């Protein structure tokens, strides 16, 4: 098995390297040798990860990124590729270790703009369409994290971090080596960092091929635009005439920010430097502005209720002449995740997860008629107009994302990229089954069952129950590099992954039931799923495991005390163990207030008291089953102390326990060697307890 992706293979396509000045040993495409067709952690990290896809102005070529991992170097690298819209003539355009990204066609398709590391920061570069002549055209202090050209290509809008709090050096100039932080309000930390800088939206003018005359749209304001931690260029948009910019911002700080999800869309005029709030009075998240091609309309995504981050994501459109707002998807009881305008400026094509599968739909903005374009057991992950219809990324439980062309009329999809064919052809994937299981309250619950490769129904296999994090968000046909169901199955386990109460894509009633009911119906749903599978003659009902992360980690902690000896081993990653501590440790209080019901000291709040009564730490005296805990110490959403408390509780009671701490990881496990370590220890733990 090859453990490092250090060889750049010519199979990516021919072409002349555009820039080899910093080539060295390039992290490129891996060609692993796979024994017996079974996936390993090293194989999992050999897959190329396809990023954003851009269609050329002449509709003939595609621009896309692929990221590769070098396990030995513990690094990843992203390169830029292009190919024809029919998948032919693939060509790699960049050959460096500088992490190219955000590639966009400019100059009618004759040139490509992109981001690349330059002298310690991310800067904007431009190169010819064949990859030659790369030139840095920006000098932005601190670097750029995303950009988009104006339609007339005279300006560039970009995102960069700006200082938002007084530094210790400014406060105490005579203490240059002091490392303390002074905190006066909430939201002093977020996900994995201390909040000392926030992203702002800027624009600059292009003169003589360089960026100049930089303008901060939020000059002097301490607000985020776009929103952390996931917002990017999809949250900013140029008007069709290049005279205005719409950006997303939650103009709140401190406690108000921590308790609210009320972001708005602001329109900034480049001519008179004025800013107007377009969504004032709309109280939830307003994000993803996108103008129609003719500029007559702006569409965006909007949640209704302030404080509820998992509210249904609704599609709205605004008539820019009258500012009239129209709720397009009022009869569509599912989230809209992404969308584009069709060429006619009257149709929007969007992506939505329905019954745990992400597919493409269209809607007429006048009639609100919705038509389904695609179906099947997979997830579409992006969409763009291109070729004779659509260009979209598609993935499944058994395949990482690849690029497809999609016929809008028939929904028929044709693979174009085949980035990972050389690996997939060597692997035997486990069968994936869709089961509908009856719950304790007589509902039907979709549960994915993933069988081991070369499954033999005459044998018995141990099984692992997967508990979803979130708690919202579907257990869908997605491909993960950590919670990879095929990786679990390759270790010889049947994986049971239920879409229990609280997950999205089954209507608002299903997803909202979990709020205020932690430890309630969703736990019964988990048990319904594993009990149903345990009846099968090929499942070893005496060797069942349970795992999950975040809310899934909470679920593992809770079930460890309430499983009536069903399970022989648990593994919890980044799980909530003590909900009272969690309320005061987490940063986005709107989540805790909505889902938990509020603070634990509010004795008059029945919902909150029900939540804290279900905290796993209250039942730890009932733990009697081996448990492994993993956690990252950069996790500021659920602090590593939660995992440490759980581990200590287990050891103090004599329960077999193991802890894997990552001092340099956040809520996820992102570094290559840590990813391999996680997979190895995951398998080792369950093998010790579930395989006789």
- Please give the Cα distance from 1 to 236 (Å, whole number): 44
Higher pLDDT, 253 or 23: 253
Residue 1 pLDDT more than 80?
no
Looking at 31-45, 100-114, 319-333, 542-556, which range is the least confident one? 31-45
65: annotated active-site residue: no
Residue 15 pLDDT more than 80?
no
- Please give the Cα distance from 351 to 379 (Å, whole number): 9
- Please give the Cα distance from 486 to 645 (Å, whole number): 31
Where residue 560 falls (left for φ over 0; alpha for ψ -120 to 50; beta otherwise) is alpha
For residue 650, say if its preceding peptide bond is cis, omega within 30 degrees of 0. Answer: no
Write the pLDDT tens digit of every residue in 439-494.
999 999 999 999 999 999 999 999 999 999 999 999 999 999 889 999 999 999 99
Residue 414 pLDDT more than 90?
yes
Find the helix or strand (DSSP H, E) in which 395 lies.
strand 389-396
CB atoms within 10 A of CB 684: 12
The pLDDT > 90 percentage for the chain reads 95
Write the pLDDT tens digit of every residue in 426-448.
999 999 999 999 999 999 999 99
- Please give the Cα distance from 237 to 529 (Å, whole number): 44
Domain of 569 in residue numbering reads as 428-690
Residue 594 maps to a domain: yes
Residue 337 maps to a domain: no
Res 634: pLDDT: 97
Residue 229 maps to a domain: no
Residue 20 pLDDT more than 50?
no
Query: Contact 256/168 with Cβ under 8 angstroms?
Result: no
- Please give the Cα distance from 484 to 670 (Å, whole number): 14
667: annotated active-site residue: yes
Residue 131 maps to a domain: no
pLDDT, mean of residues 271-289? 98
Own/partner long-range contacts of 298-307 (Cβ < 8 Å, ≥24 apart):
298/237, 298/246, 299/328, 299/339, 299/341, 299/348, 300/265, 301/336, 301/339, 303/261, 306/260, 306/261, 306/262, 306/590, 307/259, 307/260, 307/261, 307/590, 307/593, 307/594
Residue 21 pLDDT more than 90?
no
Which residues 6+ apart lie within 8 Å of 214 measured at CB? 140, 202, 203, 204
Res 5: pLDDT: 32
Res 24: pLDDT: 55
Residue 406 pLDDT more than 50?
yes
Closest CA to 207 of 132, 150, 137, 118: 137
635: annotated active-site residue: yes
Query: Contact 629/646 with Cβ under 8 angstroms?
Result: yes
Among 56, 398, 550, 555, the one annotated catalytic:
550
CATH code at position 666: 3.40.50.1820
Residue 196 maps to a domain: no
Residue 22 pLDDT more than 50?
no
For residue 37, say if its preceding peptide bond is cis, omega within 30 degrees of 0. Answer: no
Residue 616 maps to a domain: yes
Q: What's the structural domain count of the chain?
A: 1
CB atoms within 10 A of CB 162: 17
Q: What is the pTM of this model?
A: 0.95
Res 4: pLDDT: 32
Query: Contact 343/295 with Cβ under 8 angstroms?
Result: no
Among 235, 311, 540, 635, the one annotated catalytic:
635
Query: Contact 461/540 with Cβ under 8 angstroms?
Result: yes
Residue 147 maps to a domain: no
Residue with tokens 């098995």: 1
Angle (CA) 513 519 524, round 5°: 75
- Six-digit token string for 256: 């108000």
Beta strands in 71-209 (DSSP E): 75-84, 91-92, 101-106, 111-118, 121-128, 135-136, 146-149, 155-163, 189-190, 193-194, 197-207
Residue 260 maps to a domain: no
């Amino acid at each position: 098995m090859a453990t490092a992706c250090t060889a750049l293979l010519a199979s990516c396509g021919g072409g002349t390297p555009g820039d080899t000045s910093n080539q060295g040993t390039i992290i490129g495409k891996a060609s692993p040798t796979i024994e017996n067709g079974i996936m390993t952690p090293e194989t999992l990290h050999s897959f190329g990860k396809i990023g954003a896809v851009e269609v050329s102005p002449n509709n003939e070529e595609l621009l896309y990124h692929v990221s590769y991992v070098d396990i030995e170097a513990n690094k990843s690298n992203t390169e830029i590729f292009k190919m024809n819209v029919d998948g032919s003539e693939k060509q790699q355009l960049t050959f460096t270790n500088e992490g190219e990204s955000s590639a966009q066609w400019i100059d009618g398709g004759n040139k490509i703009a992109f981001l690349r590391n330059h002298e310690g920061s991310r800067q904007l570069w431009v190169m010819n369409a064949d990859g030659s002549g790369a030139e840095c055209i920006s000098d932005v202090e601190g670097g750029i994290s995303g950009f988009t050209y104006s339609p007339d290509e005279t300006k560039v809008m970009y995102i960069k971090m700006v200082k938002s709090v007084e530094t210790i050096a400014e406060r105490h100039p005579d203490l240059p080596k002091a490392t303390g932080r002074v905190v006066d309000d909430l939201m002093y930390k977020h996900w994995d960092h201390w909040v000392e800088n926030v992203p702002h939206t800027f624009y600059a003018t292009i003169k003589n091929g360089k960026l100049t005359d930089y303008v901060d749209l939020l000059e002097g304001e301490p607000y985020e635009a776009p929103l952390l931690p996931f917002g990017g260029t999809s949250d900013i948009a140029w008007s069709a005439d290049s005279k205005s910019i719409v950006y997303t911002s939650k103009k709140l700080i401190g406690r108000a920010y921590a308790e609210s999800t009320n972001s708005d869309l602001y329109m900034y005029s480049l001519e008179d430097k004025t800013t107007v709030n377009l969504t004032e009075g709309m109280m939830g998240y307003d994000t993803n502005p996108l103008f129609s091609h003719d500029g007559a309309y702006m569409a965006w995504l909007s949640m209704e209720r302030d404080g509820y981050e998992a509210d249904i994501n609704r599609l709205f459109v605004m008539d820019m002449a009258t500012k009239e707002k129209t709720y397009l998807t009022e009869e569509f009881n599912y989230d809209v995740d992404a969308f584009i305008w069709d060429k006619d400026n009257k149709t929007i094509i969007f992506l939505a997860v329905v019954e745990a599968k992400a597919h493409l739909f269209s809607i007429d903005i006048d009639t609100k008629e919705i038509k389904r374009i695609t179906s099947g057991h997979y997830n579409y992950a992006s969409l763009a107009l291109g070729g004779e219809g659509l260009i979209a990324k598609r993935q499944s439980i058994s395949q990482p994302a690849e690029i497809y062309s999609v016929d809008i009329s028939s929904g028929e999809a044709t693979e174009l990229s085949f980035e990972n064919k050389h690996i997939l052809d060597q692997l035997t994937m486990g069968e994936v089954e869709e089961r509908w299981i009856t719950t304790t309250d007589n509902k039907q619950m979709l549960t994915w069952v993933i069988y081991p490769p070369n499954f033999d129904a005459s044998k018995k296999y141990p099984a692992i129950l997967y508990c979803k994090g979130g708690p919202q968000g579907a257990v869908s046909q997605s491909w993960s590099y950590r919670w990879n169901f095929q990786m679990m199955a390759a270790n010889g386990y049947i994986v049971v992954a239920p879409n229990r109460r609280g997950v999205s894509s089954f209507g608002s009633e299903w997803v909202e039931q979990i709020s205020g009911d932690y430890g309630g119906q969703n736990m019964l749903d988990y048990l319904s799923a594993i009990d149903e599978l345990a009846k099968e003659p090929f499942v070893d009902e005496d060797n069942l495991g349970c795992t999950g992360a975040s809310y899934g980690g909470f679920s593992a902690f809770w079930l460890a005390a309430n499983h009536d000896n069903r399970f022989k081993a648990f593994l919890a990653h980044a799980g909530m163990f003590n909900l009272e501590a969690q309320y005061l440790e987490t940063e986005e209080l709107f989540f805790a207030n909505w889902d938990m019901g509020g603070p634990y000291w509010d004795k008059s709040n029945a919902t909150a008291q029900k939540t804290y009564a279900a905290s796993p730490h209250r039942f730890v005296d009932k733990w009697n089953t081996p448990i492994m805990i993993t956690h990252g110490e950069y996790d500021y959403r659920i602090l590593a102390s939660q995992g440490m408390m759980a581990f200590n509780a287990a050891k103090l009671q004599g329960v077999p326990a193991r802890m894997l701490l990552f001092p340099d990881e956040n809520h996820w496990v992102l570094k290559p060697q840590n990813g391999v370590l996680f997979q190895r220890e995951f398998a080792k733990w369950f093998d010790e307890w579930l395989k006789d």
